[in-house]
Amino acid sequence: MTRLPFAAWLRHDLFRYFAASVLALLADLGTLSACLRLLHFSLGWSASIGFAVGALVAYLLSIRWVFRQRAFADAPAVEFLAFVGIGITGLGITQLLLWLGVVKLHLLPELVKLAAAVVTFVFNYLVRKTLLFAASQGALLTS
């Protein structure tokens, strides 16, 4: 098995997607905290605004830095809505895994959340890369 040198890993879109996800999470968390503590918004509103800001950061980093090809570059609204829809599906997967792990299997919520985060990260990356950031999908809009 050939090992990639560290510099090659830094150029790989999986590493860049991971870094973008961390930055998006920080934006989400920072927005949530600012909305709660500075603006005194409710938890629900704060979480929703944080999710939206995090999704926007993840999307912008994905189209500008992470991925080199965009299947729907000519339709950015469609691309963004699909990007967010995939993220919401990932959130649903997280919720399902938390319910199964905590409610049905009586596992520690934190451990289940960590496992769910890995599953969701892989799901989001693979689906977004396959559907949104592959050159061959562009024909879907023109047909």
What is the pTM assigned to this prediction? 0.82
pLDDT at 139: 45
DSSP assignments along 15-62, one per residue: HHHHHHHHHHHHHHHHHHHHHHHTS---HHHHHHHHHHHHHHHHHHHI
Q: For residues 49 and 137, what is the distance between their CA atoms, to the nearest angstrom?
A: 31
Q: For residues 52 and 25, what is the distance between their CA atoms, to the nearest angstrom?
A: 11
pLDDT tens per residue across span 85-137: 999 999 999 999 999 999 999 999 999 999 999 999 999 999 999 999 997 55
Task: Name which of 4-8, 56-60, 107-111 the model is least confident about.
Answer: 4-8
Q: For residues 93 and 124, what is the distance between their CA atoms, to the nearest angstrom?
A: 10
